[in-house]
Amino acid sequence: MNDDDKLFLEEMADVTPLKRESRAAPRGGVKGTSDDEQIARRRRAAAQAPITDRNILDEEGIEPLDPWFVLEFKRPGVQNGVFRKLKQGRYEPEARLDMHRMTATRARRELFDFIEESYRLGLRSALLIHGKGESKPEQERSSILKGCSNHWLRQLEVVQAFHSAQPRHGGTGALYILLRKSEEKKRENRERFMKGRVPYEPQ
């Protein structure tokens, strides 16, 4: 050690080093916090994160409809004979949703989930009961749900057609719904059709 180094050490002998916070938190988490505190912090952050709503149905700007008004809707490509059978109630409903006592907010959620699940299960026909009202307050709420049903079903691409039901199924307080055939059902039908058939090979 030379004279300069000795002189430097003598000069710095009574100096205390400054404490510095580490730049990165240790792997176990933030220094000074327990595992429970870290878990609670992560839970709070997760609760504050925005939730993605897949529901595409409009929430506002929907007009109520007359409880006795007959609803009908058919997408291009739906055969007239198929639509006529739907209108006459000749397709037995494979699923049913009764929402005539629900709020519009709940009905929006229930209808979206109902149609999505029915399509996923490969169902083709369904019955939706939106109500038409008996007492004054219920009639007002039901006519709103009728307007919502008419508006919402048109927004769902898997809905091919709908029509107000026959009296035995609720009349103008209910709807017959025709759903598009799911890809899974199309595949099953192709397999059933091809079973036992020999593919044609041109000579």
Average pLDDT over residues 27-37: 55
Average pLDDT over residues 35-58: 70
* Residue type, position 73, single letter: F
The answer for residues whose C-beta is within 8 angstroms of residue 34's C-beta and 6 or more apart is none
In CATH terms, 72-181 corresponds, of 3.30.1370.110, 3.90.226.10, 3.30.540.10, 3.40.50.10800, to 3.30.1370.110
Tell me the pLDDT tens digit for each residue of 75-128.
999 999 999 999 999 999 999 999 988 999 999 999 999 999 999 999 999 999
- Model confidence at 29, pLDDT cuts 50, 70, 90, reads very low
Q: What is the pLDDT of residue 6?
A: 63
Residue 71 pLDDT > 80 = yes
The residue extents of the domains of the chain are 72-181
* 73 phi/psi in degrees, rounded to 5: -155, 135
The answer for residues whose C-beta is within 8 angstroms of residue 200's C-beta and 6 or more apart is none
pTM above 0.75, yes or no: no
Of 107, 118, 192, 193, nearest in space to 160 by CA: 118
